[in-house]
Amino acid sequence: MSSPTANPKAVKRFVWTVSIAIPLVVLALFLIPPAEGLSEETLRRVYWLPRLNAILNASAFTCLLISLMSIRKGLVARHRALNTAALSLSALFLISYVVFHLLTESTKFGGEGAIRTVYLIILLTHILLSVAIVPLSLFSYARGLMGDVARHRKIAKVTMPMWLYVTATGVIVYLMISPYYPY
């Protein structure tokens, strides 16, 4: 279902506002000290959020992969629904990520040598591409909803592989850092 009445300028303004705000909020998380005075029990409960984040990322990855297969088969409605689900899962991930980092100290990766280098490369590319994926995914999604198929396809060719990478590396980063969580 396309939305020909959507105001392209308003969509563009929204996408750029969100695309600038999200990295600023995430950056602020590392400048704001974590919450103090949390009980041991509360901290134990908070540390299930990274696992939830990995599940959300894996679920978004799965939705995106099936979405890609669906559009190749011409199943536009399924493609749209799966992309909506992937975008929703990514938004839930962001909320959970922000809550976790507001409440806890950053966890340091404890590996050494080559594995540390691998981790840092995966983490760095994940972070950089996660910033880039916000406007790409939102513009791609909006263009698809507005029925601007030619422009949607053009941006989706870049967006889809990048979004798949970001969601997959989110899970990999979790698997690599989780042994170093205190709980």
* Span 122-139, pLDDT tens digits: 999 999 999 999 999 999
Distance, C-alpha 149 to centroid of its chain: 24
Answer whether residue 50 shows pLDDT above 80.
Answer: yes
Q: For 77-91, how does the pLDDT look when each residue is reduced to its tens digit (9 = 90+)?
A: 999 999 999 999 999
Could you give all domains of the chain from N- to C-terminal order, each with its CATH number?
Answer: 40-180 (1.20.120.80)
Say whether pLDDT at 104 is over 50.
yes
- Average pLDDT across the chain, whole number: 95
Residue-level pLDDT at 6: 76
Q: What is the pLDDT of residues 5-44, one digit of tens each?
A: 678 899 999 999 999 999 999 999 989 999 999 999 999 9
Rounded-to-integer distance, Cα 4 and Cα 60, Å: 27
Structure tokens belonging to residue 118: 């691998």
State the pTM of this model: 0.92
Read off the pLDDT of each residue in 93-113 and give the average, rounded to a whole number: 96
Contacts of 95 (CB under 8 A, 6+ apart): none
Average pLDDT over residues 140-153: 96
Nearest to 145 by CA among 65, 69, 83, 73: 83
Is a pLDDT exceeding 50 seen at residue 1?
no
162-177 pLDDT, tens digit each? 999 999 999 999 999 9
pLDDT at 5: 61
